[in-house]
Structures are given as structure tokens and as C-alpha cells.
Structure 1
Amino acid sequence: MLDRGMGLLRHGADGEFTVADLTQRDYHDVELCVLHHAPPRPGDSGSRIGLDHQWSVRPMRVPPGMEAAGLDLFSFDSDAVVPVGGRFLAWVDYYQGMLLVDVLHEDAELRFVPMPAEALLSRRWYYDEGIPDPVRCVGVTDGDIVKLVCIITPDRRSPAFTIATWTLADIDRGVWDKDGTTTMDDSQFFGLCCGVTAKISRQPPSFPMVSLVDPDVVCFLLEEEHGVVWMVEVNMRTKVLLSRAVYLDEEEARRNPFDGLRNFISYLSTTSNNL
């Protein structure tokens, strides 16, 4: 039995939310474990989630045709679980696609939305379980715009890279539109960031994170030659550096191993996408 991860969906205006966990029992069967938390009743002094609410388990069949669409359920890694459209939770594998479930519908079916074809050409860099991917991210803005950001390095021996973004244009048909005006190569990116520091290592940025407010704005981590790490915020459409801040100074970088940094970024990504 493989656990695909737990997600949180907030809905309604009175603090209502739903927690859901997706578990694979065998190749063609998965279970959805759901807990709905309704708004407090008049006179309630607080949440009674442990007493008044019960988990429900729904068996779900994997519809035929998902394999032909590119889904390999056994190798599916849940890089993130994000809310989509006010009803859906999406379990996201950055190198396969998204498993979508309407967690508010009792008879909801499992759906699969593949990643855009160009994004499927690259393989995963890291396979360590629980370690966030440093070159990809899926984010959802407060306007329910779903964005994919990829830092594409054609040759891993070369520092050259391109940052590309896609928008999920049609969730029902699984159509992604590439954002042609938000593509940026390494020379453009470092041209924007040249004022940050003269000691930039010229290695590709890492851990992109989509703004919750503006789908064109992405934050990146940028490392100096001696371990100092910057967080930079870039408007990918207007090609403007919006903000910059030291994320880890040299002394902090020596005290904090980078694995810890990656885990912290994973925490930020998870909490941000579930807001």
C-alpha cells in the first residue's frame, strides 16, 4: 500500500475545510480517505473535530485510458498536493501530471491531467523521498490559476538554463498553454539579478515558488560562490526584479546543511499551496 499524501481544501465562508488522503492499494485501486469539518454550530465554544467528525473511506477505481495518457501509478511521486477550483485536490507529480479528485462529491472519480509534452521530456533530478524538487513547482494563485514553472537545463554539465512557465487552460481536457512571454534564459535572468551581488555562482536558480497573488511572479533561491543564498522575486512577464533578500548568510549557510534548507522550502510550498 502506497500513500500518495494528504491535502487540505478550504471552502465556504465560515471556516469549513476538508482533509483528504489518497492511498494506492494496488495498481488499479486507490482509496480516498476524507474528513469534512463543517462550520461551528451556534453555541459551540470551538472545534469538536475529534468528537463530531469521522473519517470516511471511498474506494476509487483507476479509469481505463490513464496509462495511455502517461500515468504510471507505481512510480507516481506526490511532489505537492494543491487545491484547485474550490472543489478539487490535485496530487502532483512534476514529471507525470496531476491526479484530480473532487473531494466534495461523494461519487467523485479519479482524473489524470498529464504535464505539458515539453515538460515530460526531462527526467527527475532527485529521487530521495520527501525531498522537494529544486527545478520545478506547481502553484495555484488566489484566482485559481494553476501554474507550472520549470527550470530547464538541456545539459547538466553546462550552467545554461531556460525558465519556462505553463498555465492550465482547461482542466476538463487537460490543456496547458505555454506562457511565451514569460520564458527567460540564463542571460536574461542574471541580467536582472546582476545588482544583487557580484559573487553569484552562475549556477541555475532553484526552488521556484509561484506568487499566491500574481501568476506572473515567481520567487527563486540564488546561491553565491561562498554559500550565501538569496531569495529573489521576479516578474517573468515584465522581466523586472521585484525584490531581493539574503535568505542565508555565509555563517548561517555553514551552520545549516542544504538538506535542511530544502526541507524548509518544502514546508513553505506545502503551507502556501494549502492556504
Structure 2
Amino acid sequence: MRITTTETETGTGTQNSSHRRRKGSSVRGPYTGVHRPGATHPIASVPTATMRISSKETEIPGGHGRPKRSSSTSSLEDAHASNPAWVILNRFGARRDSFDGDRTTSAVSYTSGGKEMSVSFELAMPPETSLLTLDWPQGPRPSEGTTSYPYVVAAHGNVVLLEIISTAKYPRPTAIDYFVYKAKASGEPSLTRLPVCYWKGASNRDNPRPRIMSRVAMGILSCSKDSFVVAEMERRSYQHSAANIYLFCSGSEDWRVFRDVPIDHSHGVGWWSTDAVLSYRRRYLIWVDYLRGMIVAEVAHPGGDPQEPALWYVPLPVDPVLGNPYDSDRGRGCPEASRNVCATHHGIKFVNVNQCGGSFSITLWSWCEDETWRKDAALDAAQLWGLDCENRLPNVRPEFPVVDMENPYTVCFLLNEGHHIDPEATTWMIKVHMKKKILLDCTGYSNNGSSSHQNTTYMTARRMSERLSFISSEMPYYLPEQTMKRNVKTCT
């Protein structure tokens, strides 16, 4: 047994003493009929008209591993209890040229080419999604031909890992920079560019080349309020029972490489392809292949010379795909659209949306202390659509599930009517309590927004994020309450 998990069953169990309830925190809750206001409510700085449905139900969220706030901040929490403790981030962010930042969540840094830039966050309550924005404060974008949309690679605690690609006219090369955004409870957030990771093979040890990192296989672990670890796992076709780990610890000047790290219990790891990387507690990084299972790494806290991480394999509670999963026509498909492993304050959760002919079923699982899976709740298509009393949601299979970080039985889903077919279609984000079978919240996004340049930029970012998984982040919890008060976009 490697990882100990604790969990509070909302309304039915006892709360572990390590879980501290955040003052004023609540989840919009049950109602017998879905009340949908007739008018839509646009969100500031978001290109889509947004329709919001919500109600109230008090839940007891977990606060595992998060710092206590000062009394002065706590008093503000009472007045602004609707601020999110966590958010759902779109993968691609927006870009704003000649913008000086919002002076709330903004943090400034420099690209490897020496150009000043800053990033900011437009935050919203789940199930509404939040956006990252990249700003060029000093005049227009760096040079003609430069196209740079920020990409959210991973997030954990108060840190977010970002990838920013800058391309210029030939013959200048493409620059791929990785930054760590760090939220701070007091003072301004920071934005730190990571050093380049160099590939030092046997033939080029004296002339190492910059290594192209895999954004899919990279993760970030917040080890404390000041320290973090960034890691990438690399597996070769011949490495059935081992992997290479590239590791960077905050405060260091270079990457460490651990080659051929053994993977315990590595049966079923063949044909591996990483779909997601998540962080758990302050010690574990988990690489997930939704057709194979999980590879868990126990990472020592930084401080001194980093140690080789311990790796072991854990299967998912679904039958793995045998043999080569790649299809000659459709490739590997998009398993992350129907499956998600999520790290919450109550442990590791797994959501599976299973297609059953023309219908579907949804199952929620918990990873237990003995590293087995427990089935927590299930919902079929008829039960889900029965929650939509006004029959306003599209009858499509829910996609890209995200488990609420504070309520272990609440899951957010994306309902896409088909933007690729109908540009006027509405995309819905819904929040469902799987155990109580309650529709908690709905948000509808329509593409009939403003045609202004800024709104077009935001729309482009959202469209670029389609068919990509979301990132859960509790970064807002670590921002000062004054920042949250000015930055959060809400609908009432």
C-alpha cells in the first residue's frame, strides 16, 4: 500500500480531521424543477453569450493540504462566499496585443527571445470554464509572423505549468518556452521561465541539443508554498518495465535525467501512450493511459540532490485494450473524451462514460487505500435526461468529465451539440451530483457573441480548446481575496 486516501461522504459519513471546511463555501444544489431564466447573461471578457442555471445546497468540501488564510482574509470570505476555490481551465488561452494586464492575476516575465510578456486569468465558477490570457505589454506582438497562444500543460496547488510557442519568419527558429505561474496569498503572483532541457546522447555529450518536451507527458507538483517539481516521463517501445524521467526542481539551474527507472507491477504497460498527468498530495505524480492504466511516481521533495522517483503500475477499473490500440483509419481515438482520472481533496476519482449502442452510462469510482477501485455511483442516459425537466439540454453523450475538487460525488460534463456542423449551436457545461442524482448547475455558451477583436480572440481560444481535456486547478484559493473580488466573473 503506497498511497493513503481519506474521504468524506457528503451527508452520510464523518469528516476526517485533516479536512478543513472553507468558510462560506457551498455548492449549488438540488431542486425539483430546472429554472432557466429567459434572458441570457454575457460574461465580461468572454466571447459567448452565457446562460446560467443554479440553486443552493450546502456541502462540506475538503481542504486537504491547503494553507489556512489569515483572519483578515477570512472576513472577506464571508462577504464573497461565491468565489471559486477551484476552476476548470481551458487548455488554450487567449492572446491580447498591446494590453498592460488586469493588475490582479497578472504576472510578468520574458521569453527566451527577451520579449516582455504577462499572463492573466479570467476566473469563473465551475461548471463555467476559465481562460488564461497572454499579453504583450510593450506595444504589439514581438514581430511579424509571431503566433503565440498560451497552452495550459498542468496545474497543482498554487502553480500552473504553461507552454508558450513563438514562431518567427524564416530562418529564425521556433522558440518553445515553459513557464511556471505561481499564485501567492500575499503579494503579486510570479511567472518563472524554466531552463531548456538538453538531450545528451552518447553521440553528442560534448554538443548537447535542446530537447523537445512532450506537453502531454509533463506534470507539475507543488511540494510546498515555495517549491515545485516539473517532470516528464518518456517511454520507448522496448521499455515495457522501465521509463526515463526528466525532472526539474525549483531553485535549481538544470534538469536531472533518470534513465531506465524500473516500473513495479508493470504487466499491461505495453503499447503505452500518456493521455494525462495529474498531481496528488505533495508527493505523487500520476501518468495515465486511459486504455492501459496508471503509472504512479513517488517524488521526493526538492532540497539538495533530487532522488530517483519510485514508479509502479496500477490498472483502471475497466478492461484494458489488448494489443495495439491504434486503428489504421481513426488512430487511437480520443479516450480522454469519455474517461478522466481526477485528483480531489477526497482522493483519486475515475469517471467512465461508457457508450452502450445508442445510449450510454456513467460510472464514478474511488481509488482505495489498498489500491483497488470502489464503485461510488452510476447514472444512465434516461436518469440524466430525467433531471432536465424543461428538456433544454441536447441529448448527446456527455464528454470530458471533471470531478469537483471539493465534492467527491459531483462531476462536470461538456455537452456539445456539434459546433463543427452548426456554428450557431450551443455548448453546455453541466454539473451533476452522481450519488444524489441531482442537476446542480448548467452554463450554456453560444457563438453569437460580440464581433469585437477582444471577443474574437477569446472565441478563438475556446474553439482551439475543443476536443481537448480540461485542467482542474485550485490556484484561485491561493490568490488574495482582493484579487478574487475584482477578477471573478459571475452570473446571477
TM-score by length of 1: 0.75
Separation in 2 of the partners of 1:273 and 1:91? 20
| Maintained 8 Å contact 2:286/2:294 | yes
1:192 and 2:398 equivalent? Answer: no
Per the alignment, residue 99 of structure 1 pairs with 295
The corresponding residue for 2:437 is 239
Which residue is equivalent to 1:229? Answer: 427
> Does the CA-based 8 Å contact 2:299-2:310 persist in structure 1?
no
| Corresponding residue number in structure 2 for 1:34 | 247
Name structure 2 gaps, 5 residues minimum.
1-198, 200-212, 302-306, 451-458, 477-492
Change (3 A) 1:90 1:65: closer
Structure 1 position 60, deviation (Å) = 3.3
RMSD after superposition:
3.3
Amino acid at match of 2:382: S
Q: Quick check: 1:114–1:174 contact (8 Å CA) kept in 2? A: no
- Show the counterpart of 2:222: 10
Q: Does 2:347 align with 1:134?
A: no
User: Partner residue of 2:275?
Assistant: 79
Distance in structure 2 (CA, Å) of the matches to 1:256 and 1:54: 35
Return closer, same or farther for 1:218/1:64 CA change in 2, 3 Å cut-off. Answer: closer
Deviations 1:62-121 (A, max 9, x none): 346422xx221xx222111001232010001112111111121714322000011x3537
Q: Is the 8 A contact 2:264 2:311 kept in 1?
A: no
The corresponding residue for 2:254 is: 54
Of structures 1 and 2, the larger Rg is shown by 2
Question: How far 1:132 sits from its partner (Å)?
Answer: 6.7
Q: Percent identity?
A: 27
CA distance in 1, matches of 2:290, 2:461: 25
Q: Determine the structure 1 residue equivalent to 2:355.
A: 153
Q: 1:30 to 1:7 in 2, by over 3 A?
A: same
Tell me, in whole angstroms, the C-alpha distance in 2 between the residues paired with 1:169 and 1:91: 18
Query: How do 1:63-78 and structure 2 match up within 5 A?
Result: 63=263, 65-67=265-267, 70-72=268-270, 75-78=271-274
State which drifts further: 200-209 or 227-236: 200-209
Q: 1:162 is aligned with what amino acid?
A: S
Supply the AA of the counterpart residue of 1:175: T
Task: After superposition, give the CA deviation of every residue in 1:186-244 in whole Å (9 maximum; x if it has no partner).
Answer: 011011124361xx442211111111211111111123476211111111111111111
- Of the three residues 228, 246, 260, the one matched with 2:464 is 260
Name the CA distance, whole Å, in 2 between partners of 1:24 and 1:137: 21
Question: Which of 294, 298, 316 is the aligned partner of 1:115?
Answer: 316
Aligned equivalents of 1:243, 1:153: Cα separation in 2: 24
Q: TM-score, normalised by structure 2?
A: 0.44
How far, CA to CA, are the matches of 2:461 and 2:256 in structure 1?
A: 40
Partner of 2:184: none
The residue aligned with 1:164 is: 363
SS in structure 2 opposite 1:190?
helix
1:21 aligns with 2:232: yes
8 A contact 2:293–2:314 mirrored in 1: yes
Hey, what's the Cα distance between the residues in 2 that align with 1:193 and 1:76? 39
SS at match of 2:473: helix
User: CA 1:140/1:9 → structure 2, altered by over 3 Å: closer, same or farther?
Assistant: same
Change over 3 Å in CA distance of 1:93–1:259 after alignment to 2: farther
Residue by residue, what CA displacement relative to the aligned partner does 1:32-51 show, whole Å, maximum 9, x if unpaired? 111111xxxxxxxxxxx5xx
Indicate the SS of the match to 2:406.
Answer: coil
Change (3 A) 1:196 1:223: farther
CA 1:64–1:243 in structure 2 vs 1: closer, same or farther (change >3 Å)? Answer: closer
1:232 partner letter: I
Matched positions, count: 240
SS in 1 for 2:387: helix
Q: Give the number of the structure whose residues are more often helix, by fraction.
A: 1
Matched residue, 2:372: 175
Tell me the residue number matched to 1:219. 412
Q: CA 1:132 to 1:150, structure 2 compared with 1: closer, same or farther past 3 Å?
A: closer
Partner of 2:101: none
